[in-house]
Amino acid sequence: MDLSRHYTELAHKAHGINDGFYPLGSCTMKYNPRINEKTASLDGFTGVHPLQPESTVQGCLQVLKETEEALAAITGMEAFTFQPAAGAHGEFTGLLLIKAWHRANRQPRRTKIIVPDSAHGTNPASAVMAGMTVINIESDAKGCVDVDKLRELCEGEEGQNIAGLMLTNPNTAGLFDPNIQEITRIIHDCGGQCYYDGANLNAVMGIARPGDMGFDCVHLNLHKTFSTPHGGGGPGAGLVGCKEHLARFLPGKTVKITGEKDGCPVYAMEKSDDSFGEMKSFYGNFLVVVKALTYIRSLGAEGIRQASEGAVLNANYMMAKLRDKYDIAFDTKICMHEFVMDLSSLLKETGVSAMDIAKGLLDHGIHPPTMYFPLTVHEALMVEPTETESRETLDWAVGVLRQLYDTAHADPQALHGAPVTTPVRRLDEVGAARHPVLRYTCAE
Protein backbone atom coordinates (compact mmCIF):
# COMPACT_ATOMS: atom_id res chain seq x y z
CA MET A 1 0.00 0.00 0.00
CA ASP A 2 2.79 2.43 0.89
CA LEU A 3 4.52 1.78 -2.39
CA SER A 4 1.29 2.34 -4.32
CA ARG A 5 0.70 5.61 -2.44
CA HIS A 6 4.24 6.70 -3.13
CA TYR A 7 3.78 6.39 -6.89
CA THR A 8 0.32 7.94 -6.83
CA GLU A 9 1.71 10.89 -4.91
CA LEU A 10 4.51 11.28 -7.47
CA ALA A 11 1.95 11.11 -10.30
CA HIS A 12 0.00 13.96 -8.70
CA LYS A 13 3.14 16.07 -8.57
CA ALA A 14 3.82 15.71 -12.28
CA HIS A 15 2.18 17.80 -14.99
CA GLY A 16 0.82 15.95 -18.01
CA ILE A 17 -1.37 16.88 -20.93
CA ASN A 18 -4.41 15.66 -18.96
CA ASP A 19 -3.63 18.04 -16.10
CA GLY A 20 -3.49 21.26 -18.06
CA PHE A 21 -2.20 23.36 -20.94
CA TYR A 22 1.17 22.18 -22.23
CA PRO A 23 2.43 24.53 -24.98
CA LEU A 24 5.93 23.06 -25.18
CA GLY A 25 7.31 24.20 -28.55
CA SER A 26 8.80 21.62 -30.91
CA CYS A 27 7.16 18.85 -28.89
CA THR A 28 3.48 18.75 -29.98
CA MET A 29 1.90 17.88 -26.65
CA LYS A 30 -1.55 17.20 -28.03
CA TYR A 31 -4.46 15.06 -26.96
CA ASN A 32 -3.88 11.39 -27.72
CA PRO A 33 -7.21 9.71 -28.38
CA ARG A 34 -7.84 6.76 -26.04
CA ILE A 35 -8.94 4.56 -28.92
CA ASN A 36 -5.26 4.39 -29.94
CA GLU A 37 -4.47 2.62 -26.67
CA LYS A 38 -7.42 0.33 -27.12
CA THR A 39 -6.34 -0.94 -30.52
CA ALA A 40 -2.69 -1.19 -29.43
CA SER A 41 -3.71 -3.46 -26.54
CA LEU A 42 -5.64 -5.97 -28.66
CA ASP A 43 -4.39 -9.53 -28.09
CA GLY A 44 -3.60 -10.01 -31.77
CA PHE A 45 -1.05 -7.20 -31.54
CA THR A 46 0.39 -7.79 -28.08
CA GLY A 47 0.50 -11.59 -28.08
CA VAL A 48 2.74 -12.07 -31.09
CA HIS A 49 6.42 -12.88 -31.35
CA PRO A 50 8.64 -11.41 -34.05
CA LEU A 51 10.01 -14.86 -34.94
CA GLN A 52 6.55 -16.33 -35.63
CA PRO A 53 6.01 -17.59 -39.19
CA GLU A 54 4.83 -14.79 -41.45
CA SER A 55 1.67 -16.69 -42.32
CA THR A 56 0.52 -16.34 -38.67
CA VAL A 57 1.07 -12.57 -38.38
CA GLN A 58 -0.51 -11.37 -41.61
CA GLY A 59 -2.63 -8.81 -39.75
CA CYS A 60 0.45 -7.22 -38.14
CA LEU A 61 2.22 -7.07 -41.49
CA GLN A 62 -0.89 -5.48 -42.97
CA VAL A 63 -0.72 -2.79 -40.28
CA LEU A 64 2.89 -2.06 -41.23
CA LYS A 65 2.13 -1.98 -44.95
CA GLU A 66 -0.94 0.25 -44.60
CA THR A 67 0.90 2.63 -42.29
CA GLU A 68 3.73 2.81 -44.79
CA GLU A 69 1.26 3.60 -47.58
CA ALA A 70 -0.51 6.27 -45.55
CA LEU A 71 2.74 7.94 -44.51
CA ALA A 72 4.09 7.73 -48.06
CA ALA A 73 0.97 9.59 -49.23
CA ILE A 74 1.40 12.20 -46.46
CA THR A 75 5.12 12.79 -47.06
CA GLY A 76 5.60 12.11 -50.77
CA MET A 77 8.06 9.29 -50.06
CA GLU A 78 8.17 5.72 -51.43
CA ALA A 79 9.28 3.40 -48.64
CA PHE A 80 9.71 3.43 -44.85
CA THR A 81 11.71 1.64 -42.20
CA PHE A 82 9.96 1.10 -38.88
CA GLN A 83 13.10 0.42 -36.87
CA PRO A 84 14.16 3.81 -35.46
CA ALA A 85 12.87 4.23 -31.91
CA ALA A 86 12.99 8.05 -31.70
CA GLY A 87 13.46 11.17 -33.77
CA ALA A 88 17.19 11.43 -33.19
CA HIS A 89 17.53 7.73 -33.99
CA GLY A 90 15.68 8.43 -37.25
CA GLU A 91 18.07 11.24 -38.12
CA PHE A 92 21.01 8.91 -37.56
CA THR A 93 19.30 6.32 -39.77
CA GLY A 94 18.60 8.85 -42.54
CA LEU A 95 22.20 10.00 -42.56
CA LEU A 96 23.49 6.43 -42.79
CA LEU A 97 21.11 6.02 -45.73
CA ILE A 98 22.63 9.04 -47.45
CA LYS A 99 26.10 7.69 -46.66
CA ALA A 100 25.18 4.32 -48.22
CA TRP A 101 23.98 6.15 -51.35
CA HIS A 102 27.24 8.04 -51.76
CA ARG A 103 29.25 4.90 -51.11
CA ALA A 104 27.29 3.02 -53.79
CA ASN A 105 28.01 5.89 -56.18
CA ARG A 106 31.74 5.73 -55.33
CA GLN A 107 31.71 9.16 -53.73
CA PRO A 108 33.03 8.35 -50.26
CA ARG A 109 34.64 11.77 -49.87
CA ARG A 110 31.17 13.31 -49.48
CA THR A 111 31.19 13.53 -45.70
CA LYS A 112 30.16 17.12 -45.02
CA ILE A 113 26.61 17.91 -44.08
CA ILE A 114 25.05 21.36 -44.05
CA VAL A 115 22.92 22.13 -40.99
CA PRO A 116 21.35 25.57 -40.57
CA ASP A 117 21.84 27.30 -37.21
CA SER A 118 18.07 27.12 -36.64
CA ALA A 119 18.19 23.29 -36.58
CA HIS A 120 17.06 21.15 -33.68
CA GLY A 121 20.06 20.30 -31.48
CA THR A 122 19.81 16.62 -32.36
CA ASN A 123 20.65 17.33 -36.04
CA PRO A 124 24.35 18.21 -35.65
CA ALA A 125 24.69 15.52 -32.97
CA SER A 126 23.31 12.81 -35.30
CA ALA A 127 25.56 14.02 -38.11
CA VAL A 128 28.64 13.66 -35.94
CA MET A 129 27.54 10.18 -34.84
CA ALA A 130 27.19 9.23 -38.51
CA GLY A 131 30.83 10.23 -39.02
CA MET A 132 30.03 13.43 -40.89
CA THR A 133 31.40 16.92 -40.46
CA VAL A 134 28.86 19.64 -39.84
CA ILE A 135 28.92 22.85 -41.83
CA ASN A 136 26.78 25.39 -40.03
CA ILE A 137 24.95 27.84 -42.21
CA GLU A 138 23.59 31.04 -40.72
CA SER A 139 19.99 32.14 -41.03
CA ASP A 140 19.10 35.39 -42.74
CA ALA A 141 17.36 38.27 -40.95
CA LYS A 142 13.98 36.60 -41.52
CA GLY A 143 15.08 33.47 -39.69
CA CYS A 144 15.28 31.31 -42.84
CA VAL A 145 18.19 29.75 -44.75
CA ASP A 146 20.45 32.36 -46.33
CA VAL A 147 20.18 31.15 -49.94
CA ASP A 148 23.08 33.29 -51.20
CA LYS A 149 25.43 31.84 -48.59
CA LEU A 150 24.21 28.33 -49.40
CA ARG A 151 24.77 28.81 -53.13
CA GLU A 152 28.23 30.24 -52.56
CA LEU A 153 29.17 27.22 -50.46
CA CYS A 154 27.76 24.57 -52.82
CA GLU A 155 29.05 26.11 -56.03
CA GLY A 156 32.53 26.51 -54.54
CA GLU A 157 35.23 23.90 -54.15
CA GLU A 158 33.53 22.48 -51.05
CA GLY A 159 30.56 21.41 -53.21
CA GLN A 160 32.16 18.09 -54.14
CA ASN A 161 32.55 17.16 -50.46
CA ILE A 162 28.92 17.83 -49.58
CA ALA A 163 26.95 14.74 -48.51
CA GLY A 164 23.78 16.75 -48.16
CA LEU A 165 21.63 19.06 -46.09
CA MET A 166 19.54 18.53 -42.97
CA LEU A 167 16.62 20.88 -42.69
CA THR A 168 13.56 21.35 -40.53
CA ASN A 169 10.73 23.01 -42.37
CA PRO A 170 8.82 24.70 -40.84
CA ASN A 171 11.96 25.50 -38.87
CA THR A 172 12.38 25.85 -35.13
CA ALA A 173 11.15 29.44 -35.27
CA GLY A 174 7.84 28.17 -36.67
CA LEU A 175 8.58 29.56 -40.14
CA PHE A 176 8.01 27.85 -43.49
CA ASP A 177 11.04 28.59 -45.67
CA PRO A 178 9.74 30.37 -48.79
CA ASN A 179 12.84 29.29 -50.76
CA ILE A 180 12.54 25.62 -49.95
CA GLN A 181 12.55 24.33 -53.54
CA GLU A 182 15.48 26.55 -54.47
CA ILE A 183 17.37 25.22 -51.44
CA THR A 184 16.89 21.55 -52.33
CA ARG A 185 17.78 22.29 -55.97
CA ILE A 186 21.08 23.88 -54.96
CA ILE A 187 21.97 20.79 -52.89
CA HIS A 188 21.05 18.36 -55.68
CA ASP A 189 22.99 20.41 -58.22
CA CYS A 190 26.19 19.90 -56.24
CA GLY A 191 25.52 16.17 -55.84
CA GLY A 192 24.13 16.17 -52.30
CA GLN A 193 21.02 14.59 -50.78
CA CYS A 194 18.33 16.41 -48.80
CA TYR A 195 17.21 15.22 -45.38
CA TYR A 196 13.97 16.55 -43.91
CA ASP A 197 13.58 16.61 -40.14
CA GLY A 198 9.87 15.84 -39.98
CA ALA A 199 9.65 15.44 -36.21
CA ASN A 200 6.99 18.12 -36.23
CA LEU A 201 4.78 17.44 -39.21
CA ASN A 202 1.86 19.00 -37.39
CA ALA A 203 1.83 22.17 -39.50
CA VAL A 204 2.02 20.59 -42.93
CA MET A 205 0.46 17.12 -42.96
CA GLY A 206 -2.31 16.95 -45.52
CA ILE A 207 -1.17 20.30 -46.95
CA ALA A 208 2.47 20.18 -48.11
CA ARG A 209 4.80 17.22 -48.66
CA PRO A 210 8.56 17.02 -48.05
CA GLY A 211 8.82 14.86 -51.20
CA ASP A 212 7.36 17.68 -53.29
CA MET A 213 9.71 20.19 -51.65
CA GLY A 214 12.60 18.17 -53.09
CA PHE A 215 13.66 16.08 -50.09
CA ASP A 216 15.07 12.58 -50.52
CA CYS A 217 14.40 11.24 -47.05
CA VAL A 218 12.57 12.23 -43.91
CA HIS A 219 11.99 11.04 -40.38
CA LEU A 220 8.66 11.37 -38.61
CA ASN A 221 8.12 11.36 -34.87
CA LEU A 222 5.04 9.19 -34.47
CA HIS A 223 5.18 10.19 -30.80
CA LYS A 224 4.62 13.85 -31.68
CA THR A 225 2.49 14.29 -34.76
CA PHE A 226 0.86 10.88 -34.89
CA SER A 227 -0.40 10.83 -31.38
CA THR A 228 1.55 8.53 -29.11
CA PRO A 229 1.88 9.91 -25.57
CA HIS A 230 5.42 11.07 -24.90
CA GLY A 231 7.48 13.01 -22.45
CA GLY A 232 7.69 10.09 -20.04
CA GLY A 233 10.58 8.43 -21.82
CA GLY A 234 8.94 6.36 -24.53
CA PRO A 235 8.38 4.12 -26.33
CA GLY A 236 8.34 6.24 -29.46
CA ALA A 237 9.03 5.73 -33.14
CA GLY A 238 11.09 7.83 -35.54
CA LEU A 239 10.23 6.13 -38.84
CA VAL A 240 12.37 7.05 -41.81
CA GLY A 241 10.88 7.38 -45.27
CA CYS A 242 12.78 7.81 -48.50
CA LYS A 243 12.37 8.11 -52.22
CA GLU A 244 12.77 5.18 -54.60
CA HIS A 245 16.49 5.63 -55.23
CA LEU A 246 17.36 5.21 -51.53
CA ALA A 247 14.87 2.45 -50.68
CA ARG A 248 17.22 -0.48 -51.33
CA PHE A 249 19.60 0.77 -48.60
CA LEU A 250 16.97 0.90 -45.83
CA PRO A 251 17.84 -0.99 -42.64
CA GLY A 252 16.03 -4.11 -41.50
CA LYS A 253 13.16 -5.74 -43.33
CA THR A 254 10.36 -4.02 -45.18
CA VAL A 255 6.91 -5.40 -45.93
CA LYS A 256 6.10 -6.55 -49.44
CA ILE A 257 2.94 -7.91 -50.98
CA THR A 258 3.97 -11.20 -52.58
CA GLY A 259 0.67 -12.51 -53.91
CA GLU A 260 -2.98 -13.04 -53.18
CA LYS A 261 -4.90 -15.68 -51.27
CA ASP A 262 -8.71 -15.88 -50.98
CA GLY A 263 -8.94 -12.35 -52.37
CA CYS A 264 -6.59 -10.90 -49.71
CA PRO A 265 -3.02 -9.74 -50.26
CA VAL A 266 -0.28 -11.98 -48.85
CA TYR A 267 2.38 -10.04 -46.93
CA ALA A 268 6.01 -10.95 -46.40
CA MET A 269 9.05 -9.31 -44.83
CA GLU A 270 12.06 -8.86 -47.04
CA LYS A 271 15.51 -7.46 -46.53
CA SER A 272 17.23 -5.92 -49.51
CA ASP A 273 20.73 -7.15 -50.41
CA ASP A 274 21.92 -3.54 -50.32
CA SER A 275 20.46 -2.78 -46.87
CA PHE A 276 23.05 -1.00 -44.76
CA GLY A 277 22.23 -3.09 -41.69
CA GLU A 278 20.03 -2.98 -38.60
CA MET A 279 19.10 0.02 -36.44
CA LYS A 280 17.04 -1.94 -33.92
CA SER A 281 15.77 -5.47 -33.51
CA PHE A 282 12.96 -6.66 -35.80
CA TYR A 283 10.34 -4.02 -36.70
CA GLY A 284 10.96 -1.31 -34.10
CA ASN A 285 8.28 -0.28 -31.63
CA PHE A 286 5.38 -1.95 -33.38
CA LEU A 287 2.57 -0.89 -31.03
CA VAL A 288 3.42 2.77 -31.63
CA VAL A 289 2.78 2.08 -35.31
CA VAL A 290 -0.61 0.55 -34.42
CA LYS A 291 -1.48 3.77 -32.58
CA ALA A 292 -0.40 5.92 -35.52
CA LEU A 293 -2.48 3.90 -37.98
CA THR A 294 -5.49 4.12 -35.66
CA TYR A 295 -5.02 7.88 -35.47
CA ILE A 296 -4.65 8.28 -39.25
CA ARG A 297 -7.62 6.03 -39.98
CA SER A 298 -9.92 7.68 -37.45
CA LEU A 299 -9.13 11.16 -38.80
CA GLY A 300 -9.09 10.26 -42.48
CA ALA A 301 -7.42 12.40 -45.14
CA GLU A 302 -9.75 15.30 -44.42
CA GLY A 303 -9.18 15.12 -40.66
CA ILE A 304 -5.40 14.94 -41.04
CA ARG A 305 -5.50 18.18 -42.98
CA GLN A 306 -7.87 19.76 -40.45
CA ALA A 307 -5.51 18.83 -37.61
CA SER A 308 -2.71 20.81 -39.30
CA GLU A 309 -5.01 23.71 -40.08
CA GLY A 310 -6.17 23.80 -36.46
CA ALA A 311 -2.60 23.69 -35.15
CA VAL A 312 -1.57 26.60 -37.38
CA LEU A 313 -4.71 28.60 -36.58
CA ASN A 314 -4.30 28.15 -32.82
CA ALA A 315 -0.66 29.26 -32.92
CA ASN A 316 -1.51 32.33 -34.98
CA TYR A 317 -4.45 33.15 -32.71
CA MET A 318 -2.24 33.17 -29.62
CA MET A 319 0.55 35.07 -31.37
CA ALA A 320 -1.88 37.78 -32.55
CA LYS A 321 -3.30 38.19 -29.04
CA LEU A 322 0.14 38.57 -27.46
CA ARG A 323 2.14 40.63 -29.91
CA ASP A 324 1.17 44.07 -28.56
CA LYS A 325 2.98 43.11 -25.34
CA TYR A 326 5.59 40.50 -26.25
CA ASP A 327 8.05 40.87 -29.14
CA ILE A 328 7.70 38.11 -31.72
CA ALA A 329 11.06 36.84 -33.02
CA PHE A 330 11.93 37.75 -36.61
CA ASP A 331 8.86 39.99 -36.69
CA THR A 332 6.88 36.99 -37.93
CA LYS A 333 3.59 37.93 -39.60
CA ILE A 334 2.16 34.44 -39.96
CA CYS A 335 3.60 31.44 -38.17
CA MET A 336 3.09 27.73 -38.66
CA HIS A 337 2.27 25.43 -35.71
CA GLU A 338 4.38 27.39 -33.21
CA PHE A 339 5.84 30.83 -32.63
CA VAL A 340 8.78 32.26 -30.72
CA MET A 341 8.57 35.21 -28.35
CA ASP A 342 11.74 37.21 -27.78
CA LEU A 343 11.88 38.57 -24.23
CA SER A 344 15.18 40.46 -24.58
CA SER A 345 13.55 43.87 -24.30
CA LEU A 346 11.41 42.78 -21.35
CA LEU A 347 14.60 41.62 -19.63
CA LYS A 348 16.28 44.94 -20.33
CA GLU A 349 13.30 46.99 -19.13
CA THR A 350 12.32 45.02 -16.03
CA GLY A 351 15.04 42.49 -15.23
CA VAL A 352 12.47 39.71 -15.76
CA SER A 353 13.83 36.93 -17.98
CA ALA A 354 12.23 34.23 -20.11
CA MET A 355 13.04 31.87 -17.24
CA ASP A 356 11.10 34.06 -14.77
CA ILE A 357 8.02 34.18 -17.02
CA ALA A 358 8.21 30.41 -17.50
CA LYS A 359 8.33 29.93 -13.72
CA GLY A 360 5.42 32.34 -13.33
CA LEU A 361 3.34 30.18 -15.67
CA LEU A 362 3.83 27.21 -13.33
CA ASP A 363 1.88 29.03 -10.62
CA HIS A 364 -1.09 29.11 -13.01
CA GLY A 365 -0.93 25.40 -13.79
CA ILE A 366 0.55 25.92 -17.26
CA HIS A 367 3.55 23.92 -18.42
CA PRO A 368 6.17 26.42 -19.64
CA PRO A 369 6.89 26.79 -23.35
CA THR A 370 10.27 25.61 -24.63
CA MET A 371 12.90 28.02 -23.28
CA TYR A 372 16.09 29.47 -24.71
CA PHE A 373 15.55 27.65 -28.00
CA PRO A 374 16.09 28.25 -30.88
CA LEU A 375 19.58 29.44 -29.97
CA THR A 376 19.30 32.19 -32.58
CA VAL A 377 16.88 34.05 -30.26
CA HIS A 378 18.36 35.11 -26.92
CA GLU A 379 15.41 35.22 -24.49
CA ALA A 380 13.25 32.75 -26.39
CA LEU A 381 9.94 31.28 -25.33
CA MET A 382 8.66 28.92 -28.01
CA VAL A 383 4.93 28.33 -27.84
CA GLU A 384 3.12 25.43 -29.53
CA PRO A 385 -0.52 25.29 -28.46
CA THR A 386 -1.56 22.37 -30.79
CA GLU A 387 -4.91 21.83 -32.48
CA THR A 388 -6.51 19.99 -29.59
CA GLU A 389 -6.86 23.04 -27.31
CA SER A 390 -10.14 24.91 -27.17
CA ARG A 391 -10.50 28.62 -27.78
CA GLU A 392 -11.39 29.06 -24.10
CA THR A 393 -8.08 27.52 -23.04
CA LEU A 394 -6.15 29.67 -25.49
CA ASP A 395 -7.91 32.84 -24.28
CA TRP A 396 -7.20 31.92 -20.69
CA ALA A 397 -3.50 31.20 -21.37
CA VAL A 398 -3.18 34.46 -23.29
CA GLY A 399 -4.71 36.24 -20.27
CA VAL A 400 -2.15 34.64 -17.95
CA LEU A 401 0.77 35.62 -20.20
CA ARG A 402 -0.51 39.20 -20.46
CA GLN A 403 -0.92 39.38 -16.70
CA LEU A 404 2.65 38.10 -16.17
CA TYR A 405 3.90 40.80 -18.53
CA ASP A 406 2.19 43.43 -16.39
CA THR A 407 3.54 41.86 -13.19
CA ALA A 408 7.04 42.01 -14.70
CA HIS A 409 6.68 45.79 -14.87
CA ALA A 410 4.82 46.33 -11.59
CA ASP A 411 6.56 43.85 -9.30
CA PRO A 412 9.52 42.07 -10.96
CA GLN A 413 10.62 40.65 -7.60
CA ALA A 414 7.46 38.54 -7.47
CA LEU A 415 8.49 36.74 -10.67
CA HIS A 416 12.09 36.18 -9.56
CA GLY A 417 10.60 34.20 -6.67
CA ALA A 418 8.16 32.12 -8.75
CA PRO A 419 6.90 29.44 -8.57
CA VAL A 420 5.29 29.50 -5.14
CA THR A 421 2.40 27.03 -5.53
CA THR A 422 4.26 23.98 -6.88
CA PRO A 423 5.49 20.96 -4.83
CA VAL A 424 9.05 22.27 -5.21
CA ARG A 425 10.02 25.94 -5.60
CA ARG A 426 12.67 27.39 -7.90
CA LEU A 427 15.24 24.68 -8.54
CA ASP A 428 18.97 25.07 -8.75
CA GLU A 429 19.15 23.86 -12.35
CA VAL A 430 22.91 24.16 -12.71
CA GLY A 431 23.39 22.27 -9.45
CA ALA A 432 20.91 19.61 -10.57
CA ALA A 433 22.84 19.06 -13.80
CA ARG A 434 26.29 19.07 -12.18
CA HIS A 435 25.46 17.08 -9.04
CA PRO A 436 22.39 15.00 -9.84
CA VAL A 437 20.75 13.19 -6.93
CA LEU A 438 19.65 9.93 -8.50
CA ARG A 439 18.39 8.02 -5.47
CA TYR A 440 15.22 8.53 -3.52
CA THR A 441 15.84 8.78 0.19
CA CYS A 442 12.91 7.63 2.32
CA ALA A 443 11.75 10.05 4.97
CA GLU A 444 12.94 9.13 8.51
Please report, as residue ranges, which positions from 291 to 350 form the binding site for ligand PLP (by CB under 6 A).
none
Smallest separation (angstroms) from ligand PLP to the CB of 201 = 10
- Map residues 154-173 to x or -, x wherever contact with ligand PLP holds by CB under 6 A: --------------x-----
What are the b/e assignments for 220-238, b being 16+ CB within 10 Å? bbbbbbbbbbbeeeebbbb
- Nearest to ligand PLP by Cβ — which residue? 87
Give bridge partners of residue 255 from the DSSP assignment: 269
Do residues 216 and 245 touch, judged by C-beta distance below 8 A? yes
Among 86, 132, 183, 362, binds ligand PLP (CB under 6 A): 86
| Sheet with 162-167, side-by-side order of all strands | 79-81, 240-242, 217-220, 193-198, 162-167, 112-116, 133-137
Smallest separation (angstroms) from ligand PLP to the CB of 199 = 3
Residue 96 or 154 having the CB closest to ligand PLP = 96
- Map residues 112-151 to x or -, x wherever contact with ligand PLP holds by CB under 6 A: --------x-x-----------------------------
Smallest separation (angstroms) from ligand PLP to the CB of 236 = 5
Among 238, 252, 310, 368, binds ligand PLP (CB under 6 A): 238
221 is a site residue for ligand PLP (CB under 6 A): yes
Rounded Cα–Cα distance for residues 336 and 314 (Å): 9
Residue 87 or 116 having the CB closest to ligand PLP = 87
Do residues 246 and 218 touch, judged by C-beta distance below 8 A? no
289 is a site residue for ligand PLP (CB under 6 A): no
Tell me the window of 194-202, 242-250, 252-260, 417-425 that interacts with ligand PLP (CB under 6 A): 194-202
Rounded Cα–Cα distance for residues 127 and 93 (Å): 10
Among 116, 214, 236, 310, binds ligand PLP (CB under 6 A): 236
Tell me the window of 82-90, 143-151, 297-305, 342-350 that interacts with ligand PLP (CB under 6 A): 82-90
26 is a site residue for ligand PLP (CB under 6 A): yes
Tell me the window of 83-91, 110-118, 383-391, 406-414 that interacts with ligand PLP (CB under 6 A): 83-91
Residue 218 or 366 having the CB closest to ligand PLP = 218
87 is a site residue for ligand PLP (CB under 6 A): yes
279 is a site residue for ligand PLP (CB under 6 A): no
Residue 26 or 275 having the CB closest to ligand PLP = 26
Do residues 193 and 112 touch, judged by C-beta distance below 8 A? no
Do residues 208 and 201 touch, judged by C-beta distance below 8 A? no
The binding site for ligand PLP (CB under 6 A) comprises 26, 86-88, 120, 122, 168, 197, 199-200, 221, 236, 238
